[in-house]
């Protein structure tokens, strides 16, 4: 895996300093539109992880005791800097991930919402007080930071998903070690630089690059109190089990197969717009992408006709051109996996209405492009339905009734997001009530909750009990302490009985 010396190297950020020294191992960072390696990323070993956890441990006492208003000031300054650098984030993310620059800059907008909420930390960290739980006795609770927290993040939102974790963690008084995806690691270093400019003390936010070796070292390190993970389901399950076995609190968000149910009474143009945007935006590499449509009753034919007409108009090309609608997928391995699934779908007998395998992008012949792909007459036993493909592939299933559609969605192992398009309030209400999914849209295709709610799926899409960011984020990154006090001049006297409220 030794890369040529002329390649740019992406390193770590520990204790307020970039760490670019020679690593024993490196990974490739691709330019997905051109199809070549553009840089290399250092892979942390155990010593580097120890250094980052040490830096975070040393910074914890001072940061966690800093007055709340002063912590909020740092968050507010960081928020402004993120906003000012939105275009730069867009360019960095687009060049390593492949998504369109404007889509990449959109990550910043959603991340800002999460920081906005975290800026309210003085209010969010308030406890509760009960006066007079017994004679002259009061009880109150406080929420305290847990210590050093680590975040392990996926390639598909290299800016926004880390913010989901570290904004509430740092606001609550914790220190943080981020292990971003090795496929598009550069945005993490810009965030580290901006934290420093915002006045965050050195060591509060650290970045370590790497692969499984770095992740395992964080999961096993006794100095790490909490692990947040976002990524695929098999790795989420592994992270949850290993970190929990080591006594850490864990939230591990996994993969998805998100369904959009189209009722016969729906505005079919709006439903087709929603399906095309959410299935093919970011080349289908969003955890909230719709990858399965469920057309109910006689909606199938007119809906598919509308989807096909829209697919023909999509402009596919390099991410740096904001005039394009869809870019390439992230790596050659991702391209080959997705092409393999399209082949499987054909073999399984689904009907291939749009075939993305034939796409060629002029001037970018080596890029990892796959065109929008649409299957109809998909059954729930097919692998193209059961597995998360994570590419621009939409499969349509047909259902006779709303009940059958609900049974299909609830029978799927994933439960991240789902939507229903309908003009019937009764159908919408039945759907929101009966569906076993964590985030539900009604005539909304990608129901990612705003920053003052929390984000999380059900079933195989989340291991752990608390969702990420918003109020649940603050619960996850703090632990409660309950204090019972008696301030009175006279002694209550000796009593060997169990204390009661008398
Ligand atoms: P991934 O699971 O391959 O990698 C995620 C992180 O885990 C990376 O930092 C990676 O270095 C690390 N990792 C990978 N293999 C590991 C191993 N064997 N041991 C320890 N660590 C390992 O996911 P990805 O391909 O980067 O991202 C796409 C996946 O993330 C999709 O499944 C998508 O649905 C999911 N995702 C989920 C959400 C959500 O909120 N539920 C959000 C975004 C992405």
Query: 475: CA distance to ligand 1 center in Å?
Result: 23
Is the per-residue pLDDT at 439 higher than 60? yes
Closest CA to 455 of 474, 441, 475, 439: 439
Task: Give pLDDT, residue 3.
Answer: 47
Task: Give pLDDT, residue 5.
Answer: 55
Query: 153: CA distance to ligand 1 center in Å?
Result: 6
Condensed to tens digits (0 to 9), the pLDDT of residues 136-191 reads: 999 999 999 999 999 999 999 999 999 999 999 999 999 999 999 999 999 999 99
Query: 24: CA distance to ligand 1 center in Å?
Result: 23
Query: 449: CA distance to ligand 1 center in Å?
Result: 20
Joined together, the tokens standing for residue 145 give: 């930071």
Q: Work out the burial of residue 35: count CB atoms within 10 Å of its CB; fewer than 13 is exposed, 13-18 middle, 19 or more buried.
A: middle
In whole angstroms, give the CA distance from residue 182 to residue 363. 27
Query: 235: CA distance to ligand 1 center in Å?
Result: 7
- Residue 235, ligand 1, Cβ within 6 A: yes
Task: Give pLDDT, residue 284.
Answer: 98
In whole angstroms, give the CA distance from residue 402 to residue 266. 13
Taking residues 338-359, report their average pLDDT: 97
Best of 93, 154, 207 to mutate for ligand 1, by most ligand atoms within 8 A of CB?
154
Is the per-residue pLDDT at 2 higher than 50? no
408 φ, ψ to 5°? -65, -50
For ligand 1, atom 36: residue with the closest CA: 231
Best of 110, 165, 231, 467 to mutate for ligand 1, by most ligand atoms within 8 A of CB?
231
Q: What is the rounded end-to-end Cα distance, in angstroms, of the chain?
A: 72
Q: Which domains does the chain have, with CATH numbers?
A: 8-254+461-482 (3.40.605.10), 258-442 (3.40.309.10)
Query: Who has greater pLDDT, 358 or 272?
Result: 272
Closest CA to 317 of 357, 363, 275: 363
Condensed to tens digits (0 to 9), the pLDDT of residues 218-240 reads: 999 999 999 999 999 999 999 99
- Residue 416, ligand 1, Cβ within 6 A: yes
For residue 34, give the 3-state DSSP assignment.
coil
Is the per-residue pLDDT at 1 higher than 80? no
Taking residues 109-120, report their average pLDDT: 97
- Residue 158, ligand 1, Cβ within 6 A: no
Query: 230: CA distance to ligand 1 center in Å?
Result: 6
Q: Are 458 and 437 in contact (CB under 8 A)?
A: yes
Ligand 1 atom closest to the CA of 183, numbered from 1: 26
- Residue 181, ligand 1, Cβ within 6 A: yes
Ligand 1 atom closest to the CA of 255, numbered from 1: 34
Average pLDDT, the chain: 96
Query: 501: CA distance to ligand 1 center in Å?
Result: 50
Enumerate the active-site residues: 287
- Residue 285, ligand 1, Cβ within 6 A: no
- Residue 164, ligand 1, Cβ within 6 A: no
- Residue 451, ligand 1, Cβ within 6 A: no
Taking residues 29-35, report their average pLDDT: 98
In whole angstroms, give the CA distance from residue 36 to residue 32. 7
Taking residues 78-104, report their average pLDDT: 97
pLDDT band at residue 488 under the 50/70/90 scheme: confident
DSSP letter (8 states) at residue 258: E
- Residue 155, ligand 1, Cβ within 6 A: yes
pTM for the model: 0.97
Q: Are 100 and 327 in contact (CB under 8 A)?
A: yes
In whole angstroms, give the CA distance from residue 58 to residue 204. 9
CA distances from 58 to 198, 219, 491 (A): 20, 19, 42
- Residue 232, ligand 1, Cβ within 6 A: yes
- Residue 456, ligand 1, Cβ within 6 A: no
For ligand 1, atom 24: residue with the closest CA: 154
């Amino acid at each position: 895996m030794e890369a040529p010396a002329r390649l740019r190297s992406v390193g770590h950020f520990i204790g307020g300093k970039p760490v670019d020294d020679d690593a024993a191992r490196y990974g490739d960072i691709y330019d997905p539109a051109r199809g070549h390696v553009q840089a290399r990323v250092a892979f942390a070993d155990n010593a580097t992880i120890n250094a980052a956890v040490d830096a975070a441990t040393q910074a914890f006492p001072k940061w966690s005791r800093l007055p709340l208003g002063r912590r909020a000031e740092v968050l507010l300054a960081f928020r402004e800097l993120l906003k000012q650098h939105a275009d730069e984030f867009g360019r960095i993310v687009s060049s390593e991930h492949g998504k369109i620059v404007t889509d990449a800059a959109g990550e910043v907008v959603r991340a800002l919402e999460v920081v906005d909420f975290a800026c309210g930390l003085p209010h969010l960290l308030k406890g509760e007080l009960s006066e007079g739980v017994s004679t002259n006795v009061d009880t109150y609770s406080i929420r305290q930071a847990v210590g050093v927290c680590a975040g392990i993040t996926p390639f598909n939102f290299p800016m926004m998903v880390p913010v989901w974790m570290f904004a509430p963690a740092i606001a609550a008084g914790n220190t943080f070690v981020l292990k971003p995806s090795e496929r598009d690691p550069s945005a993490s270093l810009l965030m580290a630089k901006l934290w420093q400019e915002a006045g965050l003390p050195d060591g509060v936010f650290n970045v370590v690059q790497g692969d499984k070796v770095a992740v395992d070292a964080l999961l096993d390190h006794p100095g790490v109190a909490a692990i947040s993970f976002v990524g695929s389901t098999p790795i989420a399950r592994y992270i949850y089990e290993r970190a929990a076995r080591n006594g850490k609190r864990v939230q591990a968000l996994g993969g998805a197969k998100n369904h959009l149910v189209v009722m016969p009474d729906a505005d079919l143009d709006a439903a087709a717009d929603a399906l095309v945007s959410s299935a093919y935006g970011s080349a289908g590499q969003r955890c909230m992408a719709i990858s399965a449509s469920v057309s109910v009753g006689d909606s199938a034919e007119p809906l598919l006709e509308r989807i096909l007409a829209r697919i023909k108009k999509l402009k596919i090309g390099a991410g740096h051109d904001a005039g394009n609608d869809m870019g390439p997928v992230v790596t050659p391995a991702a391209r080959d996996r997705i092409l393999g699934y399209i082949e499987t779908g054909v073999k399984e007998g689904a009907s291939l209405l749009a075939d993305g395998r034939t796409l060629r992008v002029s001037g970018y012949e080596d890029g990892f492009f796959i065109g929008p792909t649409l299957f109809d007459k998909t059954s729930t036993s097919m692998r193209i339905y059961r597995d998360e493909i994570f590419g621009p592939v939409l499969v349509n299933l047909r259902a006779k009734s709303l009940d059958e559609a609900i049974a299909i969605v609830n029978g799927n192992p994933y439960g991240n997001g789902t939507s229903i398009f309908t003009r019937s309030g009764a159908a919408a209400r039945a759907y929101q009530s009966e569906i076993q999914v964590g985030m539900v849209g009604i005539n909304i295709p990608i129901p990612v909750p705003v920053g003052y709610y929390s984000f999380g799926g059900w079933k195989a899409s989340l291991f752990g009990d608390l969702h990420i960011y918003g109020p649940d984020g603050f619960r996850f990154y703090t632990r409660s302490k309950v204090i019972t006090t008696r301030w009175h001049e006279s002694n209550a006297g000796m009593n060997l009985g169990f204390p009661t409220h008398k």
